[in-house]
Amino acid sequence: MSVQNAIQTLSQRLLILLWIILLFTPLSITFIWFYGTLVDSAGGVSLEFSYDVSLPLTVGKSLMGYPFALLPSLVYMAIIWQLICLFRLYQLGDVFTQANVSCFRRIANLMIATPVISVLSNMMLGAVLSIGQESFNIGFTIDDSDLTILLIGLTVRAISHVMTLAKDIKEENELTV
């Protein structure tokens, strides 16, 4: 089996896995959010907030908070979508192309933006869940995973520059007789 065939086979398998993850993510986040906010927390799903929230929530508050709870997952889903696009290109045998470089850049930018979006989402969620309460709760946390994804995003951004050089060298070699 050639290296190209191995890449194509691996890409095909990864595409199946990535599609499953992409489709399962919104379903699981939706279930966890509504079950965790509307049903007693002793039921097996425990949601954590960076501010005081008394659970269970009302249906209205749960519905208002849902978009802000979902927002970070939408960013992860966008990253998964870019990985699907990248592995489709690999499956077609396109390795050092501008389309691949673009996928790497979009993945890097999404990863770099993830901690900021997570903080903003958490703050907006706190504001929405504070409606009708005595105190206004806006809190956020930055944890190891946020810093890790930021660092990985910066690394992927550097890799996108390396991929640009590789693409340019490939194109130059194709023009050389």
**By C-alpha distance, which of 150, 139, 130 is closest to 54?**
130
SS3 50: coil
Please report, as a single letter, which amino acid is at residue 37.
T
What pLDDT sits at residue 158? 97
Mean pLDDT of the 113-117 span: 96
CA 69 to the chain's CA centroid: 13
State yes or no: pLDDT of 40 exceeds 70. no
Q: What is the pLDDT of residues 59-90, one digit of tens each?
A: 999 999 999 999 999 999 999 999 999 999 99
What pLDDT sits at residue 1? 65
pTM above 0.75, yes or no: yes
CB under 8 Å to 7, separation ≥6 — which residues? 90, 93, 95
What pLDDT sits at residue 139? 73
